Amino acid sequence: MDKLLINGGRRLDGRLRISGAKNAALPILSATLLTDQPVVIANTPHLHDVTTMIELLGCLGVDVVIDEKLKVEVTSRKLKQLRAPYDLVKTMRASFLVMGPMLARFGEAEVSLPGGCAIGSRPVDQHLKGFAALGAEITVENGYVRAQAPNGLTGAEVIMDLVTVGGTENVMMAAVLADGKTVLKNAAREPEIIDLGNFLNSMGAQVSGHGTETIEIEGVTELRGCEYSVMADRIETGTYLIAAAATRGHVRLEHTDPTLLEAVLERLRVAGADIETGENWIELDMHGERPRAVDIETQPYPGFPTDMQAQFLAMNAVSVGECRVTETIFENRFMHVQEINRLGADIELINHSTAHVRGVEQLHAAPLMATDLRASFSLVIAALVAEGRTLVDRIYHIDRGYETIEEKLALLGADVQRVSR
């Protein structure tokens, strides 16, 4: 099993190109099931989760070709089956996103209940509520969800009981081929929702309001093929900015969008970072100084993202002062605290949703074990700061969401090796 061996104590310094967004690429790959024509997707990140989605599409009978420029061409002319098996879905929650497109185009779908990171309860009830509102009959048996709409779906008003990114995406994809108009209320507003809506419109859908709380979708009879480029990964962008701040470094990140990271950039400025931005780049300079401790509270977009809570907590661990980190999205997302404390951090869990952080000047190397995708990079940030050589185990979590991490960190001057031992 691969591990990362990190020799800490070096400032991150240099330029880096940000990859395409995993959380945009996965629903877009799912949405290719909505047409029988070829779809070409550019800027798709080379990640384990993307590979899993491509394997799932292949299992369903989809033709997938990846060219020398890493563009992915998907042709869903006809499917061998409308059943997404447990063996694939259990490893990645986003696999459940194939249900909406299959239901919309073929009138039925059977998908295993999803797996993914162990960061608390993330039910799919809002997905199923949306499908039912569009006229599907839903049954759950033996760990599989079966949805049927033999006469097609019908547009309707769908009100989400809570803001859910996956639920919003799945219902959007189901509604584009429904008969009539669908109004989706209390929708998620994340940039990845906007990217999915733009992709669907490139295929001939009529989606409006994506990026707001109310999305309107006029159903069409069919969608066409297209070529589309996935948005830059705002989570990867924020992660490397936070890593640079923790190491007192200076980085310029390119091929990214600073307008999608306003909440994170504001907190980094409070932490003492000197930040400049352009149309597609962000530059951060700590001028060799330790960050200041900064309170954060996760919120749905456009608030501070839960997917950057762990990384920011790691930075706070070596900051000047004390702060609180509050998690409002998931109830089990502080599993990294115990591991960071092994390096000498002073982090106290007050309850399941709040951590009190007292910044320390220096961390010291110790063996670490990753627990989930974003928490795994928080351990990398802590190890980059720590004195000595830290071995981070179970980095398959990292490979699910961060492209060629050791190569990118090396470009910024880090001493990081991937080892198998």
Give the residue carrying structure tokens 């762990």.
310
Active site residue 59: no
Give the C-alpha separation, 65 to 179, whole Å. 32
Do residues 110 and 42 make contact, with C-beta atoms less than 8 angstroms apart? no
**Greatest CA span in the chain, whole angstroms?**
65
From the candidates 59, 117, 226, 323, which is the catalytic residue? 117
Q: Are strands 83-84 and 108-112 parallel, antiparallel or unpaired?
A: parallel
- Rounded to the nearest 5°, which phi and psi values hold at 21? -80, 120
Do residues 119 and 333 make contact, with C-beta atoms less than 8 angstroms apart? yes
| CA 362 and chain centroid, separation | 30
Give the C-alpha separation, 63 to 57, whole Å. 8
Residues annotated as part of the active site = 117
